[in-house]
Structure 1
Amino acid sequence: MSPPPTSPTPVPPPTAAPQTSGFAQDALLSTGQWNAFDRSLGRQSPTSRWLGWRLRLLVTTALLGCLGVFFLAYWLAQQPLVGAAWRLTGNGQVELNLARDPLLKPAQGKTLEGLAGRDGKLVPVDGLALQRSARWLIDDVEGRRYLSTQRQLGQLLQSEQVQLRFSDGTMLDLRTHPRGFMGLGLLFWLLCSLALVVYGVAMAVLLARPNRLNSVYAVMACCQAANLVFIAVESTLDLAWPLGLADWDYYGRVALDLVTAAAVVHATAVYPRKVAHAGWWLLPVWVATAALVVLTTLDWLPAAWWWVQGACALLGMAAIALLTWSHGVEPHPFALVLRRFGIIAVTTWVLLSIAVAMARGESGVQQNISIIGSMIWYVFFASLLLLIPFLSKSQQMMREFSLLAAITTVATSLDLLFVATFSLGQVTSVTLALFVSLGLYVGARQWLLDRLMGSSVATTERMFEQLYKIAREVEARPDRTSSLLTRLLRELFEPLEILVVDKLTARSRVVADGSTLVVPVPNMVNPQPSAPTMGSIVIRFAHRGRKLFTAEDARLTDRIFEQLRRAVAFDKAVEQGRSEERMRLAQDLHDDIGARLLTLMYQAQSPEMEDYIRHTLQDLKTLTRGLAAQNHHLSDAAAEWKSDLVHRLNAAECELTWNVGLDRNVPLGVVQWSALTRVLRELANNAIAHSRATRVDVAMTLHGDRFELVVRDNGIGKNPASWSHGLGLGGIRKRVKQLGGEVEWREVMPQGIECRVFIAKFKPTD
């Protein structure tokens, strides 16, 4: 029962096989399944599909359906009618309740004995005549008597004049008149409208993708549309069916119910998971169904009502068992949703059958249950068939329909129970059932919503935090976009499987009847809306196979990725502005301060002053070069730091030992480069100025994410715990903390101080 496909425009064929990124190491798709699914990504668009003969045929079938309803209404409007409304008395007789014809006013409230024609032959009438359909009569004898009475009454009403005979001897001769369109009633038009909608959806599904499965769905939907039309005709009855239509109603509805039940089993046997050798298993189902239809039509089947009700219930249970098996083999959420609705439908069918059987012998109660209860069930089942093609379209629609189905099922079941078991009046039972079901609904609403929506949905704050982190990582490493987005989508939807495929798609969309969501990977190298995508992420079985993907999920992923694209573009714009500002500052420092220092150096009055200014120029050169550089790699920065320290320490006649061990060369951000430059420079100055060291050892290591810098001197410094942290030491602590690290000083033997900078999670801008 697949919905109309929602594939976008054709896309190029895949150039690489999918790579699994889900929880399980073994992919849930077999090779054949993946190839079929991969081909489905490139199907033609709905727009192109509906052009041509499909659209014309759909319009033609819709017009034929409308014309059929119109001609049926026209024919019913021409049928003869006696202007009276009847009701059932406590002793099972028919009483004139409301006289629309002035000639019947004197007989209002009297018990009808029968109708007679011009030949004077009386057709007896009792409470059985007010039953609207033989379909819900349990006893075979009563069913045959009902059909015989309806044939006689239909034949009698074809004459222009009939005689009504009442139990007190009153006889009234009346002329029949056409019912007219106004006499059909509002319920007739409502049920016919629903039947047209069900029929139209069936034709749309079948024509959108003609295949065996959609044909089975169309059979079910058309059968239920025909059932609704029969119920609509029943709603117009006062006392008698139009000639010959009562037989069509009984035998037709039996066949429609049995065919629908068999089609449900057929559909669940091939979808979502096909049973091995399904054709051989389904053959006896259809043979048994056809046999029941034939035997019932020929009146060769004793206790036919029980056979039909039991067969429909058993076939429904078989469908539920198949869906349970299917979900166990492959956790397709469509099977889980259909199983829930199937349990509701079968349970209410069984309860309705039990209620009708328990009310046997109480004609008034049984008629109310069979008329009202059966109509509610058929409307519910037709609505369920309408919902199936759109389960993956709207989560809100599915949620509200589920709640409506639950509350309606509870209310109907309680109403039938109160009427059949406690013999309550119709108004009393309906009122009590509504109050009880509403109370249960209010108490269990939140639990139901949690079950339908899932309780582990990511919060807005967490989603924003994830987007911010991913934007930063993607900006530095666009090649990791797929893996980062996979992690985000896994947290958002909790799927059983995520596949990254080299398949270009234009937008997110739901496929495979809501079990799969295909999401395009945005181009973060060029984060413009018009930029081509970088493959796709295929997500299967949301919330561990318990939920269907819907159109809202597709729109949500599109909005999330659009926000991510904007965040990356914004960060790039901000970084570009920062880079331009640093370039401007570096240029100004070089042109202005550098020129002035150079002038002062040439005008220096002593060699010491000249040497000091030369060192200052060297520091300025290092600073401006760092500000102007776009990228700083750790190995290049280490070489610059060594050169700077050699220059400083040589001027103070201090020896430098330099050791660097890096397992990888990573790029540094300006903040990292600036902080480490100033830390090294401050530590070297302290060793020269305060410790009066003659030797400085520097060791720098990077292993994985663990960065360590150790600076040791052989000076006179002692007891670092007692030092007062001024601007120098305080600046070192502040810069190391800014990098997410820790710093400590300790005294070493035989003399000197060792400073250790440790960053456990060194995050380079890679």
Structure 2
Amino acid sequence: MANLIENNKAIAKNFLGNVVCRDASMKIMTRFTPVSILFMAAIFAIMWSGTVIWVSFNQPYMGLKLGIAGEQIRILDTDSSLTGTMEIPENQVLKRISTPTQAIDLIPMDLAPEPDSAMGTYRNYAQFLERQGQIADMLQQQKLELTFGDGQVYSISVMPHRPVKTFDLAFWVQLIVGVVAWLISAAVYAFRSNELAARYLLLSGVCTLIFSSFAGIYSTREIALPTTLFQFLSDLNFFGGSVFIASFVALLLYYPRRIAPNWVGVGVIGIFVFWFIAQQMGMFESMTFARRFLVMLGLICSFVLAAIHWWFSQYAPLERAALQWFLLSWLLGTSLFVLFILLPTLFGFDTSALQGYAFTLFLLVYIGLAFGILRYRLFELGIWWGRILLLLIAILFLILLDIIFISLLNLSPKISMTLTLVVCGILWLPLRGWIWERFLGYLSPKRELQFREIIGVTLATAQQNQQQLWQEVLQKNFAALHVEEGIYTEAPVLAQQGLQLHIPAIQQLDAVTLGYAGQGRRLFSQYDVAIAIELCEMLDYAIQAKMAYEAGVIEERQRIRRDLHDNISSQLVNALHSQQPQRKDDMIRNTLTDLRDVINHSMSGGICFEELLINIRAEIAERLALADIQLGWSMTGNVQQAMSLEMIHGLRSILREATNNCIRHAHAQHLKIKIRIETQFLLLQVQDDGQGLAELKIGQGQGLTNMQTRVQLLGGEIQFLNQQGLFIDMKLPLGPNRE
């Protein structure tokens, strides 16, 4: 026992000196570039892995795979290709190992993979190490005799080295976990070397490399290691685990925001180092208490500090999102490790066989913290972080109910599980929805309310009012603290790591930038981007619909104006100049009928060309006769072909306007109209012998402009030429040829 305490004092003194020098080494490291730091970290990881593999390789090997069955050690498998174990039957109870000078009876405790979980007291730990040393000394011999439970004795050869291919999977898992944790923490430190959080993460990476890889050596040993080596590895495993917890407690003093001065973090590390020294000096009798109590206390402190940060970050969404990375990784990683590995040992359950594989949970912690410190995609955490948290709570709730039903009510496992599922279905599912909406702050948008708000923006009377209403809609949907003029962007996009959401300009409305969603309590997420896209599309569609309606109103007004100018006015002029009262009354009645048609756009269609052209010819001839102008009329082709409503109205208006132009402006003696109706087109030519146009500027005359507009609306072509007067040439498509 005295030798054990002396060895412990030497180990404690050595590592206390390393901790004191840590700050100085940090200052040296900050002088290197990130690439240099990553390169050195990789080289160190390679050297460390080689050393760990070499230590395991340098141990004697019998070629036996041993296991515990009840209170006995059994041979589960043999490796006859490497050692002389071919004759040894499997599943034999191994009672004793002996050499010509030594012999020792084996007990299940000799195979304990993790002393911290199995020893109970330091007295038992000292006895365990002493027995390990005796067995290791015997393994140095070239020959061993194995005594089995039935009294048979077998002689085997011992290899001086353990082949690498015989290393257990748990060895490689723990080594890889340590190396990956170290590389992740080193990578974060390389790019955030000026942050205390990154430094404490680096310290935790060093500790993980120590406790994980050292545990991989002794927990996967064949049967024994030398006393000094085993104690060194086991105690350093505890030291690494203790400082690992301490580094996370210290990290939470400065991450995601500083809540303590620098010396507090150093003090936390010092407390854990002092505790390690105290247990190494024999100040505790219970090994379970000495190696579990402070670790559990540190774990509780980490959750308390996380709760404090959660409270302080309620209006700091970047800090809240970074903290979510920590909580997610810490809950899923460390909590599961404590639940299935550390906590059962306090109640006397040996979980050492699972410890090697459970170390993989720590990778979740490092990945989450690395993402948080590097601020990686913080804005995407919101929804699925809450879902994972609720899922974890549901699993814990399920386990607790199952334990209660089995332990307290003495129900069978099947009945207990059935009742647990029923209770979870009745209580948990409604409670989950309430928690989701009340605490996680994600409510499904109400489409009906959004639609009414968008319509309100669209129908606003002025652009300034539209802009104000649009900003109010955005502020209401996202509960943004800041709403200001935005920058150019083609679609809604996140900025400032989720602090801002840029909304693009829509039609005549300016771009908008939203800041601090949820009244500053969360970041904008891709879910918010999807809602923003939907709102923008709704508003753009509504504004386009309004613009189309307004364009339709303008077009209808122009149609009425053209009809009044071309048709109604010309008919009223004819009635005014008529010398016969009856004729005048008929023309006025027809004009009133046409006026109703213009207003209602309800002229009856389906008449043929011949009927229309006879009526319009009579009207034109009468008007020209009053102006002493002779009419020349020519009509060929299929005059029985039916006409559409638009063609009837358009052709009559065009001929009337051409006649008006000749009477009012041409000073002509003759007007010739030629109409040829083909299968697909109607060809119309109007020629007078007047003064023509001085300059062919169609826009200067309302009549010619109306003619051109009507022809275009009918899908046709029109030309105005000076040929011994004004020559008008038109080509109008019929039926399916119209576009």
TM-score range (shorter-chain normalised) is: 0.5 to 0.7
Change (3 A) 1:347 1:158: same
Query: Structure 1's 442 and 592: CA in aligned 2 closer, same or farther, altered over 3 A?
Result: same
Pair 291,98 (structure 1): closer, same or farther in 2 beyond 3 Å: same
Give the superposition deviation at 1:291.
0.7
From 251, 254, 257, the counterpart of 2:235: 251
Deviation at 1:193, TM superposition (A): 4.5
Q: Are 1:472 and 2:458 matched, yes or no?
A: yes
Structure 1 window deviating more from structure 2 (237-246 vs 252-261): it is 237-246
- Give 2:20's aligned residue: none
Aligned to 2:533: 559
Would the aligned equivalents of 1:201 and 1:386 in 2 still touch at CA under 8 Å? yes
Instruction: Tell me the secondary structure at the aligned position of residue 220 of structure 2.
Output: coil
1:121 aligned residue: 102
**Which runs of structure 2 are paired with 1:511-530 in the superposition (5 Å)?**
517-525=499-507
Q: Is contact 2:110-2:132 (8 Å) kept?
A: yes
Provide the secondary structure at the position in 2 that maps to 1:537. strand
1:519 deviates by 0.4
Deviation of residue 561 (structure 1)? 6.0
Report the TM-score when normalising by structure 2. 0.59
The separation in 2 between residues aligned to 1:441 and 1:508, in whole angstroms, is 40
Shift of 1:355: 2.6
Which one has more relative contact order, counting CA pairs under 8 Å at least 6 apart? 1
In the superposition, relative to structure 1, how do residues 472 and 166 fare at CA in structure 2: closer, same or farther (>3 Å)? same
Q: Which residue of 2 aligns with 1:574?
A: 548
Distance 1:416 1:442, change over 3 A: closer
Partner of 2:204: 220
Q: Match for residue 537 of structure 1?
A: 514
Q: Paired residue for 1:146?
A: 128
Equivalent of 1:588, from 559, 562, 565?
562
Pairing 1:292–2:275 present:
yes
Match of 1:85 in 2: 65
How far apart, CA to CA, are the structure 1 residues paired with 2:49 and 2:405? 37
By how many angstroms is 1:312 displaced? 2.1
What is the one-letter code of the residue matched to 1:308? R
Q: Give the one of 79, 88, 94 matched to 1:112.
A: 94
Question: Would the aligned equivalents of 1:475 and 1:572 in 2 still touch at CA under 8 Å?
Answer: no
Residue in 2 aligned with 1:380? 361
Distance 1:560 1:476, change over 3 A: farther
Question: Partner of 1:103: helix, strand, or coil?
Answer: coil
Q: TM-score, normalised by structure 1?
A: 0.57
Pick closer, same or farther for the CA change 1:414–1:179 going to 2, 3 Å: farther
- DSSP-derived class of the 2:67 partner: strand
Q: Return the match for 1:355 from 337, 340, 344.
A: 344
Contact 1:132 1:371 in 2 (8 A): yes
Using a 3 Å threshold, how does the CA distance of structure 1 residues 233 and 63 change in structure 2: closer, same or farther?
Answer: same
Change (3 A) 1:587 1:563: same
Provide the rounded CA distance (Å) in 2 between the counterparts of 1:395 and 1:541.
12
> 2:124 is aligned with what amino acid?
E
Task: Give the CA deviation at 1:308.
Answer: 3.5
CA–CA separation in structure 2 for the residues paired with 1:423 and 1:81? 48
Conserved in 2, the CA contact under 8 Å of 1:162 and 1:176?
A: no
Q: Give the letter aligned to residue 121 of structure 1.
A: Q
* 1:132 corresponds to 2:113: yes
Q: What's the CA shift for 1:555? A: 4.2
Instruction: Report the alpha carbon displacement of residue 271 of structure 1 after superposing the two structures with TM.
Output: 3.5
Structure whose CA Rg is larger: 2
Alpha-carbon distance between aligned partners in 2 of 1:524 and 1:187, rounded to the nearest angstrom = 60
**Identity percentage of aligned residues:** 11
* Stretch moving more, 298-307 or 66-75: 66-75
Verify the 8 A CA contact 1:202 1:218 in the aligned structure 2: yes
**How far does residue 566 in structure 1 lie from its aligned partner after superposition?**
4.8
d(CA) in 2 for partners of 1:458, 1:171: 74
Segments of 5+ residues of structure 1 without an aligned counterpart are: 1-51, 360-365, 528-532, 625-766
Deviations 1:77-104 (A, max 9, x none): 564422222222434x423333343636
Give secondary structure in 2 for the equivalent of 1:88.
strand
Sort the Cα spacing of 1:569 and 1:189 in 2 relative to 1 into closer, same or farther, 3 A.
farther
Following superposition, the deviation at residue 141 of structure 1 comes to 1.5
Secondary structure of 1:81 counterpart: coil
Q: Distance in 2 between matches of 1:287 and 1:111?
A: 47
Distance 1:393 1:106 in 2: 59
Deviations 1:608-662 (A, max 9, x none): 989999x999x99x999xxxxxxxxxxxxxxxxxxxxxxxxxxxxxxxxxxxxxx
Alignment of 1:24-43 (within 5 A): none
SS in 2 for 1:306: helix
Q: Please give the alpha-carbon distance, in whole angstroms, between the structure 1 residues aligned to 2:405 and 2:360.
A: 21
Residue range with higher mean Cα deviation, 572-581 or 291-300: 572-581
Q: Distance in 1 between matches of 2:75 and 2:567?
A: 113
Displacement of 1:132 after TM fit? 0.7
Match of 2:248 among 264, 267, 271: 264
Separation (CA, whole Å) in 1 of partners of 2:359 and 2:248: 15
Residue 278 of structure 1: aligned partner: 261
- Distance in 2 (CA, whole Å) between partners of 1:387 and 1:568 is 44
Q: Aligned match of 1:393 in 380, 383, 392? A: 380
Give the whole-Å Cα distance in 1 for the aligned partners of 2:407 and 2:214: 25
Of 90, 95, 99, 2:74 maps to 95
Compute the RMSD of aligned alpha carbons. Answer: 5.1
Distance (whole Å) between structure 2 residues aligned to residue 141 and residue 371 of structure 1: 22
2:223 corresponds to 1:239: yes
Residue deviations 1:102-129, cap 9 Å, x none?
Answer: 6364464444344445x63335532112
- Cα pair distance change 1:282/1:128, threshold 3 Å: same
Question: In structure 2, what is the equivalent of residue 308 of structure 1?
Answer: 291
For the 8 Å contact 1:471–1:568, the answer to whether it is kept is no
Mark the CA change 1:346 to 1:186 in structure 2 (over 3 Å): closer, same or farther: closer
Q: Which amino acid aligns with 1:402?
A: L
Letter of the structure 2 residue corresponding to residue 95 of structure 1: R
Alpha carbons of structure 1 residues 189 and 370: separation in structure 2 relative to 1, 3 Å: closer
2:271 is paired with a residue whose SS is: helix
After superposition, what is the alpha-carbon deviation per residue over 1:522-580, rounded to whole angstroms, capped at 9, x for unaligned? 223568xxxxx8452112457x84xx547533642563465357536744763575366
Give the Cα–Cα distance (whole angstroms) in 2 for the partners of residues 587 and 300 of structure 1.
107
SS of residue matched to 2:499: strand
Distance in 2 between the 1:422 and 1:105 partners?
Answer: 52
Distance of 2:273 and 2:415 partners within structure 1: 42
Work out the number of aligned pairs and report it: 541
- Gap change, CA 1:223 and 1:392, over 3 Å in 2: farther
What's the CA shift string for 1:52-90, capped at 9, x where partnerless? Answer: 954575466457546754664566456442222222243
The gaps in structure 2 that reach 5 residues or longer are 1-31, 601-739
Equivalent-residue separation in structure 2 for 1:194 and 1:550 (angstroms) = 34
C-alpha contact (below 8 Å) 1:509/1:518 kept by paired residues: yes
